[in-house]
Each structure stands twice: as C-alpha cells, then as structure tokens.
C-alpha cells in the first residue's frame, strides 16, 4: 500500500518561533516547531481494525485489538502496514507466539532476510536471536538502521520479547523524517545528491580472523546509498546515515566527511525526535527501518534479555 504524504514545514504562525543553535556547539535548543504539522496530522488518523495510542508527537503507537499470531485477513494486514508507515514504529503487547507464528506474521509483509553475522533461532533460520546474559552483554546501544551495509537493506523488522529483565533493556526509536526536517536550508542543500559508503566491517568485522573478514567482505562489499532518501511508501524525505554502518560520505575529505556525518547523526539524539518502549514478555515492536533508527539500552547487565527478530527485505534506497 502506498500513501503519499506531502512534505510539511513549520506552521506559518510559528515561523519566528523555533529552535536555535547553541553557540560553540552543534546543538539545537528551543521549541521543535517542525514537529507540529506531523503531530496534528497523526492526531486525525482513525483505524477500522484496531485502536492506536500514540507514544510521542510524531513517532510510535501501541496498537490494541489484534492477535497477530492469528490468520489475519489481507485488509487487516494492509491497515497494519499503513499504520507502520504513518507512526514509523508500532507496538503490540501480550502477543504470545511461537517462532513459526512470528515468521508467518512477518512474512505477510514481504520476503524475510537471512542475517550472515548473528545467530538464528535454530528452528527458524530467518529469526535472529539476541540472547544477552552475564556471558554476553548488549552492544546494540547506539543509534542505527539495520543492515544498511546491504545493497537491499531491510524494509522493516519485527522484534518479539521472549524474556526480559524486570527493569532496563528499553528500546528507543528516532524519527528520521523529523531529523531531516530539523536541518537548516544550507545543510539540506549541502547534502542533496551526496552518497554515503556503508560497510559492516567496523561492527561485525571487529573480531573476525583476517581470512574470514576478507571472505565476508567479498560476499558483502561496501555499498553506496543516498544520504537523503525518498521513502517509497510515503514519498517523504528522510536521513539515511548512521554511526554503526556508515563509513564515510563519498567525495569529501576524511575530516570533512567525519564532521558532516557527526552533525547529521546527532539529529537522532534529540528526545523530541524519539519514543521509548518498555518491554514486557511477549511484546512486539515493528519498525520501519527506513524511517527510524533505533537504540537498545544496555542497562540490565547481568540479567537476561532474549529477543527474536524477523526482518523484511526492502528495496534499494532511492533519492
């Protein structure tokens, strides 16, 4: 389902009110007026097959009234897809399901990917298993899109909580439409048409023996994606660089590339662009991997946290 949403700027009456740059620091302070139109638009949405409770002005909603392990009708799945595109990440609570039911629901949204670097659920190879404990800590606590080092990165991902600690282990999501809209016009002009190089090496390659690293680099060579992409489901522009997998911006000197990447990646850091989800057993998060970045807090060591993720293959990122 494709829903084209127009690019929305600040309210006319708010043009003299908005964030300002903090002197000597690349930070914004003040009201984030670029969020207003999107927040008002989302407030008007109504749904036939479920209820939605929003988590923040522009990103995140909990959907109720659905059992996602059931054999849902096509029109229900279509409405869930639309909710995903509108809210950027959607959540379901109290959804006990088997690994087979997880992959069956995820596959309603497209082909599922196999991840070459993270261990799978042995019964369902297309489920990546994140099992953290005293022996294996969580290292996903940085803002990132998943697998942008692929030529065809994930469209979205569905994460199921199998076992969670009593406290900690929340996941945060950041709105990359809002991140782009927060940029000043000079920066938007500067990054228009630029491409970034994405590579798995600095994350998954860190502990590989040299021969294994070379073999995997031949299988998954560095790829180039636009710094600013147009979402194929909404027609909206969003940032598409992240600290985990973006190596550099093509055509810029190393220092210039590093400084620009840092400035762009900082847009994910603002709480005004984020929502935060507190997990419970059998909760599910479904995020649009193009429209959001995510951050898994690593504050629960040495307690156990087990999650399983199915990822839906996407298309080539487009300008």
Active-site residues: which are they? 144, 146, 294, 309
Task: Name, in order, each residue with C-beta under 8 angstroms of 104's C-beta and a sequence gap of 6 or more.
Answer: 69
Residue 208 main-chain phi, psi, to 5 deg: -85, 140
Radius of gyration of the chain (CA): 19
Which two structure tokens, joined as six digits, stand for 29? 């302070």
Which two structure tokens, joined as six digits, stand for 195? 């491409």
Task: Rounding to the nearest 10 degrees, give the CA dihedral for residues 42, 103, 278, 241.
Answer: -70
Range 200-233 burial, b when 16+ CB lie within 10 A, else e: bbebbbeebeeeebeebeeebeebebbbbbebeb
Let me know: does 298 contact 221? Beta carbons within 8 Å. Answer: no
CA distances from 210 to 87, 199, 207, 213, 214 (A): 42, 16, 9, 5, 6
């Amino acid at each position: 389902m494709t829903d084209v949403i127009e690019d929305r700027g600040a309210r006319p009456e708010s043009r003299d009110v908005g964030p300002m740059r903090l002197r000597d620091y690349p930070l914004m302070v003040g009201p984030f007026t670029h969020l207003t139109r999107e927040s008002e638009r989302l407030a008007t949405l109504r749904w036939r097959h479920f209820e939605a409770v929003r988590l923040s002005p522009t990103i995140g909603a909990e959907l109720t009234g659905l059992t996602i392990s059931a054999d849902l009708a096509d029109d229900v799945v279509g409405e869930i897809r639309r909710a995903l595109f509108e809210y950027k990440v959607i959540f379901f609570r109290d959804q006990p399901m088997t690994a087979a039911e997880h992959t069956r629901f995820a596959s309603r949204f497209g082909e599922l990917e196999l991840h070459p670097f993270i261990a799978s659920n042995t019964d369902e190879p297309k489920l990546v298993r994140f099992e953290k404990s005293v022996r294996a800590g969580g290292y996903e606590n940085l803002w990132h899109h998943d697998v942008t080092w692929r030529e065809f990165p994930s469209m979205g991902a569905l994460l199921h909580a199998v076992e969670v600690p009593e406290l900690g282990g929340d996941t945060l999501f950041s709105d990359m439409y809002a991140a782009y809209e927060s940029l000043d016009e000079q920066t938007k002009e500067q990054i228009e048409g630029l491409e970034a190089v994405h590579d798995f090496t600095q994350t998954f390659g860190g502990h590989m023996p040299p021969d294994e690293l070379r073999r995997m680099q031949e299988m998954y060579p560095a790829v180039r994606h636009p710094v600013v992409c147009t979402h194929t489901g909404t027609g909206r522009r969003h940032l598409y660089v992240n600290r985990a997998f973006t190596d550099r911006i093509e055509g810029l000197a190393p220092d210039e590339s590093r400084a620009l990447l840092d400035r762009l990646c900082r847009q994910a850091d603002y709480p005004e662009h984020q929502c935060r989800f507190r997990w419970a057993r059998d909760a599910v998060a479904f995020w649009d991997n193009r429209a959001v970045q995510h951050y898994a807090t690593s504050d629960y060591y040495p307690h156990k946290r087990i999650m399983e993720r199915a990822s839906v293959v996407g298309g080539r990122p487009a300008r």
